[in-house]
Structure 1
Amino acid sequence: MFTHIVFFKLNEPDELHVQQAKNLLLAMEGQIPMLKALEVGVDLLHTERSYDIALITKFDCKADLDAYQVHPYHVNNVLAKLKPMLKGSAAVDYEL
C-alpha cells in the first residue's frame, strides 16, 4: 500500500475557505479509480506549527499515485481550484 499525505496551509483559513477546500478534496472519492482510500482532516489546535487541512490518500502502488497526480479529475476539479487558495503545502509519501 502506498500512502500520500499532504498538509495544506490556506491563504484565508476562515471557516468558509477551510470548508470549501475540504469539500474539493472529499469530492475526489469515487471519481478516481486508483484512489483506494481518502481521508480529510481539519486542524483543531491552530498552533504556530499547524497546517489547516490534512489529506491522506492510499493507493495500491506508486504507479497508481503517479496516475492519480495527472488524472483529469484531480487536475481540473481539485488542483485548479485549490492551488489559488493555498499559501503553502507539504507532502509525505511512503510505502508499507
Structure 2
Amino acid sequence: MITHIVLFKLKDNSPQSVEETANVLRAMEGQIEELKSIEVGLDVLHSERSYDIALITKFDSMEALEAYQVHPLHKKVIEHMAKAREASVSVDYES
C-alpha cells in the first residue's frame, strides 16, 4: 500500500475558501478507481507554521498512484489547487 499525503497552504484561508477547496478534494471520493481511501482534514490550530488542509490518500501500488496522478478528475483538482494554493508539501511512503 502507498500512502500519499499533501499539505496545502491556501492564498485565501478564510473558512469559506478552505471549505470550498476541501470539497473539491472530497469530490474525488468514489470517482477514481485507483484511489482506495481519501481523508481531507482541516487545520484546527491555525498556528504560524500550520497548513490549511491535509489530503491523505491510499493506493494499492505505485502504479495505482501514477494512474491517479494522470486521471482526468485529478487533473481538474490540480487546476483548482494551482489557483488556490500558496504552497504545498507532500510525502509518499509504503504503509
- TM-score, length-scaled by structure 2: 0.97
Task: State the alpha-carbon separation in 1 of the partners of residues 73 and 10 from structure 2.
Answer: 21
Secondary structure of the 2:80 match is helix
What residue number does 2:13 align with? 13
What letter matches 1:21 in structure 2? T
What letter matches 2:17 in structure 1? H
Q: What's the offset of the Cα at 1:66? A: 0.6
Task: State the alpha-carbon separation in 2 of the partners of residues 11 and 73 from structure 1.
Answer: 22
What residue number does 2:56 align with? 56
Give the gaps of 5 or more residues in structure 1.
none
What residue number does 2:83 align with? 84
What letter matches 1:26 in structure 2? R
The sequence identity of aligned pairs, in percent, is 55
Task: State the alpha-carbon separation in 1 of the partners of residues 7 and 49 from structure 2.
Answer: 11
Task: State the alpha-carbon separation in 1 of the partners of residues 29 and 42 from structure 2.
Answer: 17
- TM-score, length-scaled by structure 1: 0.96
Instruction: Report the aligned-residue RMSD.
Output: 0.6
After the TM superposition, list the runs of 4 or more consecutive aligned residues in structure 1 that deviate by more than 4 angstroms: none
Task: State the alpha-carbon separation in 1 of the partners of residues 82 and 25 from structure 2.
Answer: 12
Give the gaps of 5 or more residues in structure 2.
none
What residue number does 1:43 align with? 43
Number of matched pairs: 95
